[in-house]
Copies of this chain bind each other. A is one copy, B any other.
């Protein structure tokens, strides 16, 4: 009651998000044999008898994860579902249900909430998942969205963040950096609009990267391709925080190093052009921008012949002994260490 807080104060920023989670969950005790995988992957894995049940959740908070100035509510609803489904796909699973938690202030009209739900239903329809419940309540300040996605995977098909094997090939779906480029354009136009509300936003020609930011898709198709080709990745993760951060996760879970070739990292021309217009290196967008929701995975070398013919997938590097480190071979041929600088660092750079 009205307790006195301790005087010693350690800042959370000293640990970082992943350090904090590691710190808080290091003493987790597991009571149930059904708990196959707890903290530390894209989704929790629960033994449901014949199959594994996969469960993941993400919080989306106004002012942190989205800005309603330029994020239409329908897009927000869509994205809130998609980013969670992406975590289920990252386990090689199939999402089946979602549960919604929604906190909002009374400044929202019914029509606004309907827009938000319309976006969520659109995603549910596209990805064939069932909205099975939720919790709606008031929020004193911003909009709060919490989505839980539930999926299923055959026990012999589940893929974790590791361990991959030395020599495995590192693959990534689609292209990277676009979502971050789109965010920068939106932030720029918001600044222009705030300075002069008469100005119309200049978004012409940015369709691709805006879509990557405002209406991302989860790679259901990649999971289907893996199933069809009979390739089971040795490790997999989805790219929410940026390629660099996700590579680090796979390396950590595999106790390995990794070598990545810059020239192999897939970057769309639109992303490239936008980055150049901001005087930035597009590779940095791919490495640290995040929110691309592509799948990053490793395969055995034996699967190379099949994988190299799949248009939607780029082979960008290979797993090495841990002692080799995590490195990028640049286009000029030099080797630099990959650091997971993440989004905040990027924000500073672009500011």
In this assembly, does A46 line the interface, its C-beta being within 8 Å of a C-beta of chain B? yes
Instruction: Give the chain B neighbours of A59 by CB distance below 8 A.
Output: 101-103, 135, 137, 144, 146
Q: Are A97's CB and B46's CB within 8 A?
A: yes
Interface string of A13-52 (1 = CB under 8 A from B): 1110100110111011111101101111101101011110
Q: Give the CA-CA distance A126 to B58 in the complex, in Å.
A: 26
B27-A57 in contact (CB<8A): no
Q: Check if B139 sits within 8 Å of A64, measured CB to CB.
A: yes
Stretch at the interface among A112-120, A254-262, A302-310: A112-120
Output the least CB separation between A111 and chain B (Å).
Answer: 5
> Across the interface, do B57 and A146 meet the contact criterion of CB distance under 8 Å?
yes
Q: How far is the CA of A137 from the CA of B21 in the complex (A)?
A: 10
| Chain B residues whose C-beta falls within 8 Å of the C-beta of A11 in the assembled complex | 106, 109-110
Interface membership of chain A positions 88-111, coded 1 if the CB is closer than 8 angstroms to chain B and 0 otherwise: 000000001101011100101111
Asked whether any CB of chain B lies closer than 8 Å to the CB of A1, the reply is yes
A203 touches B (CB below 8 Å): yes
Of B65, B117, B131, B140, which contacts A142 at CB under 8 A? B140
Bound: A131/B193 CA distance, A: 45
Q: Are B129 and A20 in contact (CB under 8 A)?
A: no
A325 within 8 A of B: no
Q: Given known contacts A1-B72, A5-B112, A55-B55, is B138 in contact with A64 (CB within 8 Å)?
A: yes
Contact indicator A64/B1 (Cβ below 8 Å): no
A-B contact pairs, 17 of them (CB 8 A): A5-B111, A11-B110, A12-B109, A25-B131, A28-B131, A29-B124, A31-B128, A34-B152, A38-B132, A46-B150, A48-B50, A57-B134, A57-B148, A61-B138, A64-B139, A101-B146, A148-B148
Q: What are the residues of chain B within 8 A of A62 when measuring CB–CB?
A: 140
The docked-state distance in angstroms from the alpha carbon of A203 to that of B27 is 34
Q: By the criterion CB–CB under 8 Å, are B58 and A135 in contact? A: yes
- Chain B contacts for A144, CB-based, 8 A: 59, 61, 103, 144, 146
Q: Is A156 on the interface with B (CB-CB < 8 A)?
A: no
Are A58 and B101 in contact, CB atoms less than 8 angstroms apart? yes
A349 interface hit (Cβ, 8 Å): no
Q: How far is the CA of A141 from the CA of B20 in the complex (A)?
A: 20
Pair A113/B24 contact, Cβ less than 8 Å: yes
Closest chain-B Cβ to A20's Cβ sits at a distance in Å of 6
Known: A2-B69, A38-B132, A55-B133. 7 other contacts (CB 8 A): A38-B133, A61-B103, A61-B137, A62-B140, A64-B140, A99-B148, A101-B146
- A53 CB–B CB distance under 8 Å: yes
